[in-house]
Amino acid sequence: MPVLDRFFNATELGRQWRTGEELMPFPMGSLPSYQQDTLAWELPEMIRMVKLVWKSTSELRGTKQKGILENEDALGSLSGDARVRGQTGVLSERRGSYPFIDFRLLNSTTHSGELGTKKKVKRLLSFQRYFHASRLLCGIVPQASLYLLDEDYLGQARHMLSKVGMWDFDIFLFDRLTNGNSLVRLLCHLFNVHGLIHHFQLDMVTLHRFLVMVQEDYHSQNPYHNAVHAADVTQAMHCYLKEPKLANFLTPLDIMLGLLAAAAHDVDHPGVNQPFLIKTKHHLASLYQNVSVLENHHWRSTIGMLRESGLLAHLPKEMIQDIEQQLGSLILATDINRQNEFLIRLKAHLDNQDLRLEDAHDRHFMLQIALKCADICNPCRLWETSKQWSERVCEEFYRQGDLEQKFELEISPLCNQQKDTIPSIQIGKT
């Protein structure tokens, strides 16, 4: 049996899953019996599983990493989002990463010899990464007192999820209660609430694996464009999706597309904007010809992770292709340079009163508008939450300005911390 399967199969996780098992949606705030303690898995079994993995990883630390990586049958060869290796063979930092799909496109658009090294790059799901992901359902700590405290945090997090449809939802508090795993916990809950797991016959373990991949591919060192921002946008998207005038026409596919696009719309964001990538001649700017550079990268990264995880592999091929294209259309709509384009279209629909939500094309347009609003909705949150987001986005701008100053580049608008104040940046941004 492959190594990962030995430690991360459904039996070890405390519940044997069966294909086609009924997973009906539950009312907001209530959970089925098998999700009462840790949302999807029982805590005692989780602790036992983590101890097994801890022992295994400790033993593996004494072996050569090369031998581990060569055993692709044991670890699973995953060809989605890849990390580009340097000349020395050491994995580059995340800030210089891009998915295998981007890498393949880059190779196909260059002539031979333009790239110094064209190695076939694969990202292997390592023990360390998967063990790190295992804390996403509960904080495992050895001390009994901390264990009880952690249980209390989980209880508070579950209570917050019962009010996830409220606009005053505090995503920062929820992120602390979930030990920095707000995106995974939120999406698992929303997929269950909307009945998506049952409707699309999704495997819970595979869904969790995909959500872990998405959350881990956000850069936690970014003050603003991180997994907490993704969770905040996803929660706002949920609020929009449940508005009666829209909800009455939405299909399960529309809801899943909206939630997935919100969760992954900024995945692998480098913490700098498109003009910075263009003027520094970044490879992504060249790959996407300076058009929606970041948004194209977020989309390609998302598709890479969907294929790597196999979340939708059981669906018809035509349906998968349609989902991938619609996700691209939604994520590309978040390009700030396209604001006027969508505002003009929305105003025209309102003036002509020709918006028909029975039509799939019009529903998709409204999903684009909803995602754009969710992406920049933080000024509309409660003051304390809005203030934190303002400080975070300004800090990220200032960091870019410092980089530009360091490399003797012209400092981008809103990025000069000597001249641009937080109020002026907020006016300029919104």
Mean pLDDT of 163-173: 97
Mean pLDDT of 213-224: 97
Model pLDDT for residues 343-360, shown as the tens digit of each residue: 999 999 999 999 999 999
The band of 93, judged by pLDDT with boundaries at 50, 70 and 90, is: very low
Model pLDDT for residues 306-317, shown as the tens digit of each residue: 999 999 999 999
Per-residue model confidence (pLDDT) at position 423: 86
- Dist. CA 121–CA 101, nearest whole Å: 10
Q: Is 123 helix (H, G, I), strand (E, B) or coil?
A: strand
Output 168 or 144, whichever has higher pLDDT.
Answer: 168
Cα 262 to its chain centre, rounded Å, is 8
Q: Binding site for Zn(2+): what residues are annotated?
A: 229, 265-266, 375
The band of 84, judged by pLDDT with boundaries at 50, 70 and 90, is: very low
The band of 61, judged by pLDDT with boundaries at 50, 70 and 90, is: low
Per-residue model confidence (pLDDT) at position 372: 98
Mean pLDDT of 370-375: 98
- Dist. CA 405–CA 424, nearest whole Å: 20
- List the catalytic residues: 225
Per-residue model confidence (pLDDT) at position 382: 96
Region label for 91, one of left (φ > 0), alpha (ψ between -120 and 50) or beta (otherwise):
beta
Model pLDDT for residues 169-208, shown as the tens digit of each residue: 999 999 999 999 999 999 999 999 999 999 999 999 999 9
pLDDT higher than 90, residue 157: yes
- Dist. CA 80–CA 309, nearest whole Å: 8
- Dist. CA 386–CA 141, nearest whole Å: 33
Token pair recorded at residue 360: 């799939």
Question: With contact defined as beta carbons under 8 Å apart, do 393 and 429 qualify?
Answer: yes
- Dist. CA 163–CA 29, nearest whole Å: 7
Residues contacting residue 159 through CB under 8 Å, at least 6 positions apart? none
The band of 55, judged by pLDDT with boundaries at 50, 70 and 90, is: low
What predicted TM-score, i.e. pTM, was given to this entire model?
0.69
Please choose, from the candidates 365, 428, 369, 353, the residue with its C-alpha nearest in 3D space to the C-alpha of residue 393. Answer: 428
HSE (side-chain half, CA atoms, 13 Å) at 364: 15
Q: Binding site for AMP: what residues are annotated?
A: 225-229, 266, 375, 426
HSE (side-chain half, CA atoms, 13 Å) at 9: 8
Q: Binding site: what residues are annotated?
A: 225-229, 265-266, 375, 426
Mean pLDDT of 89-101: 41
Mean pLDDT of 22-38: 40
